[in-house]
Amino acid sequence: MADTAYTIERLAPLPVKVPPPRFGSATAAELMDEVLPPIRYIVPGIFAEGLTLFGGKPKLGKSWFLLGTAIAVAMGGYALGTIEVEQGDVLYLALEDNKRRLQKRLGQLLPTTACNIPVRLPERLHYDLNCRRLDDGGLDDIRAWIESRPDPRLVIVDVLNKVRPAMKGNEGIYDYDVRSLEGLQGLAAEFGIAIVVIHHTRKAEAEDPFDCLSGSTGLTGTADTTLVLARDSQGTTLYGRGRDIEEIESALTFDRTSGAWTMLGAAADVRRSDERNLILDALRQSSEPMSPKDIMLAAGLESRNALDVTLYRMMKAGEIEKAGRGSYYLSGVHNPCKIGKNVRSGDRYGEGDAE
């Protein structure tokens, strides 16, 4: 049997295609040359594009706050009494309300004529009383509304517990809280709109208002902005922290007749002004200079240190003067301690001779 020669030719290995590196295609130099759109503020200083977690105790007025904001954006004009906003489309998911209650609140908040007829109706404000859970179609429904509107600016979810996914059996609270908000946070970033989610705070008080929010830090860590509405003996304050807003600590007032919230300004300034008025009223009603202790009692103040600071500032501003050691009186009134020197004929304030 003839030998059969086989020639075995070694095949060259096929070239291996190396995928381009995942990282390294973008440089900081290129980023600095890129022209990016500015942050979009739906309510300047309060609501920027992104996800906002809005907390507060039940029955404090969170829904009134956000419904009033929704009307302002849908109609154009001023939110919270003083903040000018651009008009756009708004979706308000009033998941704890019914039509009758929502209609009543709208009737209170809308600007009206002398005959109590709304001046205009907010046709760009859409609402719904129901929403599927976010992991069961709710996120898709919100996306569909955003894509259907010419200028979507604001989505309000009232409240988180109505739409957050069910907790998995082996899921930790932190992971659950992140999963509850990450879909909305991504949606807000994708479309450059503000999505505001109402959440409740715990009953327990905390030194930091943000520590009162129910749940873990997964909620505040996922949200782009966190706002807390809180009330104490000095009034109602809106606290805010966020990636794209300055830190907020603003005093607010609520009109129960109209249902409208109004922002008064920085809480420290407003309260200092209120404290000054109390001090001035106390001195005005007194017939003689008052010690800080007497002023505290008459004005109903609690902090001696804060009072001393305020008295010093009022003296620098020329509102009050010091009479001797440690007592104060209103500027423009002669120092009553000098009455014996100035008054010779019965004029108590030494402003002239007795008639």
Q: pLDDT for 49-71, tens place per residue? A: 999 999 999 999 999 999 999 99
Confidence of residue 349 (pLDDT cuts 50, 70, 90): very low
Distance from CA of residue 58 to its chain's centroid? 16
- Does domain 271-342 match CATH 2.60.120.370? no
Q: What's the CA gap between 66 and 260, in Å, rounded?
A: 10
Asked if pLDDT for residue 8 goes beyond 70, the answer is: no
Query: pLDDT: is 97 or 5 the higher one?
Result: 97
Q: Is 196 exposed, middle or buried (0-12, 13-18, 19+ CB in 10 A)?
A: buried
Please, are residues 95 and 129 in contact by the beta-carbon 8 Å criterion?
yes
Element (H, E) at 166: none
Please, are residues 223 and 186 in contact by the beta-carbon 8 Å criterion?
no
pLDDT value of position 113: 63
Asked if pLDDT for residue 208 goes beyond 90, the answer is: no
Cis preceding linkage at 43, omega within 30: no
Confidence of residue 341 (pLDDT cuts 50, 70, 90): very low
Sheet of 225-232: strand order equals 125-128, 89-94, 152-158, 194-200, 50-56, 225-232, 235-242, 248-255, 260-266
Please name the residue that has the structure tokens 């008639």: 355
pLDDT value of position 146: 98
Please name the residue that has the structure tokens 């609690």: 302
Query: pLDDT: is 285 or 179 the higher one?
Result: 179
β-strand pairing of 328-330 with 320-322: antiparallel
CATH class of the 41-246 domain in this structure: alpha beta
pLDDT value of position 306: 81
Query: pLDDT: is 313 or 223 the higher one?
Result: 223
pLDDT value of position 352: 37
Confidence of residue 232 (pLDDT cuts 50, 70, 90): confident
Q: Among residues of the chain, what percentage have pLDDT more than 90?
A: 62
β-strand pairing of 77-79 with 83-85: antiparallel
Asked if pLDDT for residue 351 goes beyond 80, the answer is: no
Asked if pLDDT for residue 342 goes beyond 50, the answer is: no
- Read off the pLDDT of residues 300-316 as tens digits, 9 standing for 90 and up: 888 888 888 888 878 88
Q: For the chain, where do the domains classified as CATH 1.10.10.10 start and end?
A: 271-342
Q: Among residues of the chain, what percentage have pLDDT more than 70?
A: 88
Q: What's the CA gap between 95 and 175, in Å, rounded?
A: 24
The candidate with the shortest Cα–Cα distance to 327, out of 300, 297, 288, is 288
Instruction: Give the residue-averaged pLDDT of 8-17.
Output: 70
Query: pLDDT: is 80 or 271 the higher one?
Result: 80
Query: pLDDT: is 161 or 273 the higher one?
Result: 161
Query: pLDDT: is 105 or 22 the higher one?
Result: 105
pLDDT value of position 78: 94
Query: pLDDT: is 93 or 350 the higher one?
Result: 93
Q: For the chain, where do the domains classified as CATH 3.40.50.300 start and end?
A: 41-246
- Read off the pLDDT of residues 100-146 as tens digits, 9 standing for 90 and up: 999 999 999 997 766 677 677 899 999 999 999 999 999 999 999 99
b (16+ CB within 10 A) / e for 220-253: bebbbbbbbbbeeeebbbbbbbbeebeebebbbe
- Read off the pLDDT of residues 147-201 as tens digits, 9 standing for 90 and up: 999 999 999 999 999 999 999 999 999 999 999 999 999 999 999 999 999 998 8
- φ/ψ (deg, to 5) at 136: -125, 35
Asked if pLDDT for residue 336 goes beyond 60, the answer is: no
pTM of the predicted structure, to 2 decimals = 0.75
pLDDT value of position 2: 54
Q: What's the CA gap between 231 and 237, in Å, rounded?
A: 6
DSSP 218-258: HHHHHSSEEEEEEEETTEEEEEEEESSS--EEEEEEEETTT
Residue type, 261: W
Instruction: Give the residue-averaged pLDDT of 249-258.
Output: 93
